[in-house]
């Protein structure tokens, strides 16, 4: 991307990386903010017959800035019994896991911060680091409610890692590579029974995996119906209950940024990512500009589905949650892998 | 309506036993968790001290009194009109319903009967307060279970009922409308037709809740078989209202003790459910909203003409005596035992509020359940702190 | 084989999506979206809902009718009405008659920080001097300003609506607000 945008300007590796990082962080925050406004403030309000924030900025568009400002000026409280180091570190761990996830997600032919060969494997590994952060928050808060929330989260997040991974395996088998750019290329260059009109988005063949992936993503984000760790009416924010000010804001941001990240991953794996079908014949230069828009749209749509479910359904109890994961999702995902493998060899 | 199968019951018990074995192996000692008094789930300032083993409750004890306002002492120094005002605020959601048994008891002592028009309108407003109270329950139970949207629908559709109450009484939440001998004012023009139209909205809300919440498999998994109160235990603990009817007890004071209101002239059913679990309590209350809407429509059609107030003196001095009247309030059986010595103020008023007796079952029912189930059970028992503590 | 049912959770999702659509497109999908029309809320303070005529917003005093009988102050459950009056002589009704002794109000305050809006004072007044008005926008920054004195209570009188007509079958005579 740098080679094309800044023609003739050779940058050192560190300069290139810095630029990519800054652009990446800006893109993530912008997308997160947009998603928060669109869904958390507006869409949920419309679902509830009300208008949501309307005062801050035109139609409430600057509400998030106002909220950030509000959170920034709050007092930073440590409870007396809390373990200060771990308590302070926990939000950073969760945030790190979120931002690290975005490193491999491609937004264009060259617009990826680091095109690792182990693409999707890396994403899943990074997203599991957040479990550590949540456990740290739960224990370090010296609060029984936080502890309950943290332990529930640990159980839940670990349980739903497996359906997440297994759902992805079907796509990997079909694409033949862990690398996300390869998966995107396979989808845009593929064909459905010889017709290349829309490429071959894996949602058509891997619809079961798509469903499992979305359910597992809902659980990984601890969103209703899987929000036992933050069960608002029982634990009053669970493991986040002792956090104030910017530390709480970090959890908030990381939750929505992770939602955007997982949605971007899902759109890369199942919906074709940044690419439009190869038969549309758009050049690489065009795709550098159009690609980020395409993946942003797809990700925002999927986040919409996540939020739609979040605000409509009641929550599971943890044992029901676990039962769903272990006895229902994992066997189906395994079956999907077997069938995909067989079909891949046969066809 | 399928009750839970025996297999499901056995599965639940097996799950509990498995948990207990794990807890013994890991030797997790008991943790005492204070739920409340400030907590989103406890409908007010109720404190539940729960001793937990992992996520299971070993023992739970409700501690009430954080909202005690001294009603029974206050009534000793207030005139009957002032007591009517105060008593609105006991069960603040079904506001008109609190006034009715008190006024009926005072009318019994005075030997005065309200004219038929007043009795019909009293019944109408009583049922409207039931609708407004139970709609909030339906939305609130959703929130306790994690679904936030039904609560907004509940508040939105409840507004129409409250608007109608405001048009006739002047107050949305505290009508202060019942008087000894009748009602304070008559209905404004067009009110009956508008109230009938509002009942359509109430019914559409019930349908929405049924689709959105009751039909969701998650809700059913969370509430079926949770907090089962058998028939005999419900009777022993003195449960009343929908809690009792959900355990199969066919007892409704509107049919069995219709004092001073016109239920015997209307066509309606008493709704019971054999299961006694949280789902049953939710279902019974949902159907009760529909029945109440039916009753309101019949009242709107059948209100007779006539005076709204019987002949009572200006300054009311209730003759000496004692009277006990209880009615089927939205929360259960609410009764007033009024002792008068012939003064301007009552000598003693004992308020039997439904939630106080309903919450007594909490220690029994909360043994061995998971922490999330505590919330479900308390939400399904539906008490209001003003009613418990008075 | 039994008919396959749509799972309840999906129907539930349909309900919320339908409500979102009704809020965004209250006039149907062919018109541009207008959520402010479809929402069930009003954007206070830009627009305000008008309360019912009988809504108990604020109490207004018609001083000419008040005889300082103190019934309202006595019956108030909160004792939030403060009345002070003195006796004065009013001109005789007829020529050559004795001057009449009447009460003249010095002070008639209602403390709305205590008032519980029960309406007992308005109800017991035998001389029709107190009236309900549905005005509710009188919040103050200082709590002392919630004590409305005679002149302020008289100012509310303009907002008192006429008593409305009653439903058919009623035998109550509709009173008139003495303007």
Q: Quickly list DSSP for A124-137.
A: HHHHTHHHHHHHHH
Least confident interval from A269-273, A336-340, B37-41, C114-118: B37-41
Model pTM greater than 0.95?
no
For residue B210, how far is the Cα from the chain centroid?
A: 20
Residue A207 has which token pair?
Answer: 């619809």
Q: Indicate the pairing of strand C147-148 with strand C100-111.
A: antiparallel
Report, as an integer, the average pLDDT of C89-104: 81
**Whole-number pLDDT of residue B125:** 92
Is residue B231 assigned to a domain? yes
Using CA atoms of A36, A38, A40, A44 in order, give the dihedral in degrees to the nearest 10: -170
Separation between Cα atoms, residue A208 and residue A331, nearest integer Å: 12
Closest CB to C167: pick one of B174, B187, B216.
Answer: B187
Closest CA to B377 of B131, B60, B130, B17: B60
Can you say whether the dihedral through the CA atoms of C38, C42, C43, C49 is positive or negative? positive
B312 contact partners, CB below 8 Å, separation of at least 6? B110, B112, B179, B180, B181
Please check the confidence at residue B363 and state whether its pLDDT lies above 60: yes
The CATH number assigned to the domain holding B170 equals 1.10.645.10
Band (B323; pLDDT cuts 50, 70, 90): very high
- Rounded to an integer, the average pLDDT of A61-85 is 84
Nearest to B36 by CA among B18, B11, B73, B62: B62
Contacts of B156 in chain A (CB under 8 A): 49
Token readout for C74 is 């006595």
Average pLDDT over residues A289-316: 87
The answer to whether residue B43 sits within a structural domain is no
> Nearest-CA residue of chain C relative to B212?
C12
* Distance separating alpha carbons of residues A185 and A168, to the nearest angstrom: 16
- Contact partners, residue A13, CB within 8 Å, separation at least 6: none
Interchain contact, B142 vs A317, CB within 8 Å: no
User: Inter-chain contact C171–B192, Cβ cutoff 8 Å?
Assistant: no
- The rounded distance, in Å, linking the Cα atoms of A171 and A166 is 9
For A187-231, write each residue's pLDDT tens digit. Answer: 877 777 766 667 778 888 888 899 999 999 998 888 878 887 776
Residue listed under structure tokens 């943890």: A318
Tokens representing A257 are: 């940024």
**Cβ contact B39–A236 (<8 Å):** yes
How many angstroms separate the CA atoms of A31 and A262, rounded? 13
Instruction: Check C15 against B208: CB less than 8 A apart.
Output: yes
* Chain B residues with a Cβ under 8 Å from any Cβ in chain A: 15, 31, 33, 39-41, 55, 142-149, 152-153, 156, 212-213, 216, 218-219, 221-222, 370-375
Neighbours of chain C (3+ CB pairs under 8 A): A, B
Burial label, B48 (beta-carbon count in 10 A; 0-12, 13-18, 19+): buried
Chain A neighbors of B213, CB-CB under 8 A: 314
**A232 interaction partners in chain B (CB closer than 8 Å):** 40, 146
Nearest CA in chain C to A43: C20
**Confidence label for A3 from pLDDT (cuts 50, 70 and 90):** very low
Residue B13 lies in a domain: no
Residues of A in contact with C19 (CB under 8 A): 46-49
First to last CA, chain A: 36
Q: Which residues of C touch B303 (CB under 8 A)?
A: 167, 169
Domain count, chain B: 1
CA distance B255 to B262: 10
Do residues C12 and B211 make contact, with C-beta atoms less than 8 angstroms apart?
yes
| B168 is a domain residue | yes
How wide is the angle at C-alpha A137 spanned by C-alphas A131 and A142, nearest 5°? Answer: 140
Q: Which chains touch A (3 or more CB pairs under 8 A)?
A: B, C
Of C17, C22, C41, the CB nearest to A51: C41
Is B229 a member of any domain?
Answer: yes
Q: What are phi and psi of B260, to 5 degrees?
A: 75, 0
CB A305 within 8 A of CB A262: no
- Name the strand (E) or helix (H) holding C156: none
Q: Which residue of B has its CA nearest to A149?
A: B55
In angstroms, the separation between the Cα of residue B144 and the nearest Cα of chain A is: 5
B227 part of a folded domain: yes
Q: Cα separation of C27 and C33, whole Å?
A: 8
- pLDDT value of position B22: 54
| Mean pLDDT over the full length of chain B | 87
> Residue A285: which residues within 8 A CB-CB, separation 6 or more?
A4
Distance in angstroms (rounded) separating the CA atoms of residues B223 and B142: 11
Q: How many angstroms separate the CA atoms of A286 and A100, rounded? A: 27
- Partner residue facing B146 (CB), from A48, A49, A224: A224
Please tell me which residue of chain B has the smallest CA distance to C18. Answer: B208
3-state helix/strand/coil string of B265-325: HCCCCCCCCCCCCHHHHHHHHHHHHHHHHHHHHHHHHHCCCECCECCCCCCCCCCCEEEEE
Residue A30 Cα, gap to closest chain B Cα (Å): 27
Nearest to A1 by CA among A114, A109, A117, A115: A109
Q: Do the chains contact at A50 and C39, CB–CB below 8 Å?
A: yes
Q: Which helix (H) or strand (E) holds B350?
A: strand B348-352
- What is the Cα gyration radius of chain B? 22
Q: Which has the closest alpha carbon to A189: A272, A128, A68, A127?
A: A272
Contacts of B156 in chain C (CB under 8 A): 40
Q: Which domain holds residue B100?
A: 82-353
* Contact residues, chain A to chain C, C-beta under 8 Å: 43, 45-51, 54, 308-309, 311-313
* Mutation site, C12, C14, C23, C42, interface A, largest A CB count within 10 A: C23
Residue of C nearest to B205 (CA): C15
Residue among B8, B17, B148 with most chain A CBs within 10 A, to mutate: B148
pLDDT at A1: 45
Query: Is A238 in a helix, a strand, or coil?
Result: helix
Task: Give the number of A-C residue pairs with CB atoms closer than 8 Å.
Answer: 45
**pLDDT tens sequence across A18-27:** 888 888 888 8
- The answer, yes or no, to whether residue B388 has pLDDT greater than 70, is yes
A184 membership: H or E segment, kind and range = helix A180-189
Radius of gyration over every alpha carbon of chain A, rounded to an integer in angstroms? 21
What is the pLDDT averaged over residues B260-265? 86
Q: Which of C15, C54, C172 sits opposite B212 (nearest CB)?
A: C15
The CA distance from A262 to the nearest CA of chain B, in Å, is: 23
> Which residue's entry shows tokens 């919440």?
B213
The predicted model gives B71-98 an average pLDDT of: 90
For residue B343, what pLDDT is reported? 85
Element (H, E) at B145: helix B116-145
Q: Is the pLDDT of residue C24 over 70?
A: yes
Chains that touch B (3 or more CB pairs under 8 A): A, C
pLDDT of residue B3: 64
Do the domain assignments include residue B63?
no
Most trustworthy range by pLDDT among A35-39, A235-239, B303-307: B303-307
The pLDDT score that the predictor gives to residue A107 is 84
Q: Tell me the chain B residues in contact with residue A317 when contact means C-beta distances shorter than 8 Å.
A: 221-222, 370, 372-373
Min Cα separation B40/chain A (Å)? 5
CA distance B53 to chain A (A): 12
Task: For residue B368, tell me if it sits in a domain.
Answer: no
For residue C72, pLDDT beyond 70: yes
Q: What is the token pair recorded at A151?
A: 């332990």
Rounded distance, CA A119 to CA A177, Å?
Answer: 9
The whole-number average pLDDT for the span B64-86 is 90
DSSP label at residue A12: -
Nearest by Cα to A205 from A345, A332, A336? A336
Q: How far is CA B191 from the centre of its chain?
A: 26
| H or E element at residue C36 | helix C35-38
Residues 6+ apart with CB under 8 A from A25: A99
Per mean pLDDT, which range of A207-216, B113-122, C20-29, C155-164 is the poorest?
C20-29
What residues contact residue A72 under an 8 Å CB cut-off, 6+ apart?
Answer: A245, A246, A249
Name the percent of chain A lying above pLDDT 70.
Answer: 92
Mean pLDDT of B160-171: 90
Phi and psi at residue A141, to the nearest 5°: -75, -15
Terminal alpha carbon distance of chain C: 77
Q: A236 contacts in B (CB within 8 Å)?
A: 39-40
Contact C43 A50 (CB under 8 A): no
The length of chain B, given as a count of residues: 390
CA distance A11 to B192: 79
Point out which residues pair with A192 in neighbouring strands. Answer: A195
Q: Is the separation of the CB atoms in B225 and B12 below 8 Å?
A: yes
Distance CA B125, CA B198 (A): 13
């Amino acid at each position: 991307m740098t080679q094309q945008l800044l023609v003739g300007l050779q940058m050192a590796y560190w300069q290139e990386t810095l630029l990519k990082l800054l652009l990446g962080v800006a893109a993530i925050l912008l997308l997160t903010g947009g998603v928060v406004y669109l869904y958390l403030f507006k869409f949920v309000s419309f679902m509830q017959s009300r208008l949501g924030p309307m005062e801050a900025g035109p139609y409430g568009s600057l509400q998030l800035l106002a909220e950030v400002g509000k959170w920034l000026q709050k007092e930073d409280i440590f409870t007396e019994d809390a373990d200060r180091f771990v308590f302070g570190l926990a939000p950073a761990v969760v945030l790190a896991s979120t931002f690290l996830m975005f490193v491999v997600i491609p937004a264009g032919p060259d617009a990826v911060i680091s095109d690792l060969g182990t693409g999707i494997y890396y994403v899943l590994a990074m997203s599991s680091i957040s479990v550590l952060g949540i456990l740290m928050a739960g224990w370090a808060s010296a609060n029984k409610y936080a502890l309950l929330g943290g332990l529930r989260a640990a159980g839940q997040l670990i349980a739903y890692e497996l359906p997440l991974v297994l759902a992805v395996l079907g796509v990997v088998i079909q694409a033949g590579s862990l690398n996300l750019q390869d998966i995107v290329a396979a989808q845009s260059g593929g064909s459905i029974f010889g017709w290349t009109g829309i490429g071959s988005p894996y949602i058509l063949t891997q619809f079961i995996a798509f469903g499992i992936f979305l359910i597992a993503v809902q659980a990984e984000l601890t969103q209703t119906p899987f929000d036992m760790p933050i069960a608002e009416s029982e634990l009053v924010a669970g493991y986040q209950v002792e956090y104030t000010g910017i530390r709480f804001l970090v959890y908030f941001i990381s939750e929505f940024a992770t939602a955007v990240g997982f949605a971007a991953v899902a759109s890369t794996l199942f919906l074709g990512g940044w690419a439009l079908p190869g038969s549309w014949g758009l050049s690489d230069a065009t795709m550098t500009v159009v690609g980020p828009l395409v993946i942003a749209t797809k990700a925002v749509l999927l986040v919409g589905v996540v939020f739609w479910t979040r605000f409509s359904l009641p929550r599971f109890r943890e044992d029901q949650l676990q039962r769903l994961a272990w006895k229902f999702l994992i066997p189906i995902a395994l079956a999907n892998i077997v069938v995909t493998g067989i079909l891949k060899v046969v066809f | 309506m399928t009750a839970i199968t025996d297999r499901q019951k056995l599965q639940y018990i097996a799950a509990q036993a498995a948990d207990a074995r794990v807890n013994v192996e890991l030797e997790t000692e008991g943790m005492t968790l204070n739920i409340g008094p400030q907590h989103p789930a406890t409908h007010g300032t109720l404190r539940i001290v729960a001793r937990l083993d992992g996520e299971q409750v070993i023992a739970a004890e409700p501690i009430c009194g954080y909202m005690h306002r001294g009603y029974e002492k206050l009534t000793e120094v207030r005139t009957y009109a002032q007591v009517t005002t105060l008593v609105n605020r006991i069960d603040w959601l079904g506001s008109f319903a609190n006034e009715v048994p008190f006024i009926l008891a005072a009318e019994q002592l005075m030997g005065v009967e309200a004219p038929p028009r007043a009795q019909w309108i009293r019944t109408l407003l009583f049922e409207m307060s039931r609708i407004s109270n139970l709609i909030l329950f339906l939305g609130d139970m959703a929130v306790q279970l994690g679904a936030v949207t039904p609560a907004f629908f509940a508040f939105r559709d409840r507004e129409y009922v409250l608007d109608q109450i405001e048009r006739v009484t002047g107050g949305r939440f505290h009508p202060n409308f019942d008087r000894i001998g009748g009602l304070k004012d008559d209905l404004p023009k067009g009110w009956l037709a508008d109230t009938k139209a509002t009942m359509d909205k109430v019914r559409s809300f019930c349908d929405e809740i049924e689709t959105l919440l009751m039909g969701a498999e998650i809700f059913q998994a969370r509430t079926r078989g949770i907090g089962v109160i058998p028939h005999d235990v419900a009777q022993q603990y003195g449960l009343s209202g929908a809690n009792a009817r959900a355990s199969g007890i066919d007892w409704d004071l509107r049919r069995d003790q219709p004092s001073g209101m016109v239920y015997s002239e209307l066509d309606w059913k008493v709704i019971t459910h054999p299961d006694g679990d949280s789902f049953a309590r939710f279902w019974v209350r949902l159907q009760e909203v529909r029945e109440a809407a039916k009753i309101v429509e019949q009242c709107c059609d059948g209100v007779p003409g006539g005076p709204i107030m019987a002949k009572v003196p200006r300054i009311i001095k209730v003759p000496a005596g004692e009277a006990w009247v209880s009615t089927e309030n939205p929360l259960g059986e609410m009764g007033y035992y009024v002792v008068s010595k012939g003064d301007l103020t009552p000598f003693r008023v004992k308020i039997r509020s439904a939630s106080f007796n309903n919450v007594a079952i909490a220690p029994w029912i909360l043994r061995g359940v998971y922490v999330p189930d505590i919330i479900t059970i308390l939400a399904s028992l539906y008490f209001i702190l003003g009613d418990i503590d008075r | 084989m039994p008919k396959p049912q749509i799972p309840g959770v999906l129907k539930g999702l349909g309900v919320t999506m339908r409500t979102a659509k009704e809020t965004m497109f209250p006039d149907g999908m062919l018109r541009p979206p207008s959520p402010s029309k479809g929402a069930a809320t009003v954007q206070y303070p830009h627009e305000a809902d008008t309360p019912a005529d009988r809504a108990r917003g604020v109490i207004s005093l018609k001083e000419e009718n008040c005889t300082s009988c103190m019934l309202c102050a006595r019956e108030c459950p909160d004792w939030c009405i403060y009345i002070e009056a003195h006796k004065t002589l009013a001109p005789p009704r007829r020529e050559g008659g004795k001057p009449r002794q009447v009460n003249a109000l010095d002070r008639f305050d209602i403390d709305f920080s205590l008032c519980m809006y029960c309406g007992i004072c308005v109800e017991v007044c035998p001389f029709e001097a107190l009236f309900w008005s549905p005005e509710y926008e009188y919040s103050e920054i200082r709590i002392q300003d919630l004590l409305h004195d005679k002149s302020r209570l008289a100012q509310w009188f303009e907002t008192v609506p006429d008593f409305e007509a009653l439903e058919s079958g009623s035998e109550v005579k509709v009173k008139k607000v003495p303007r």
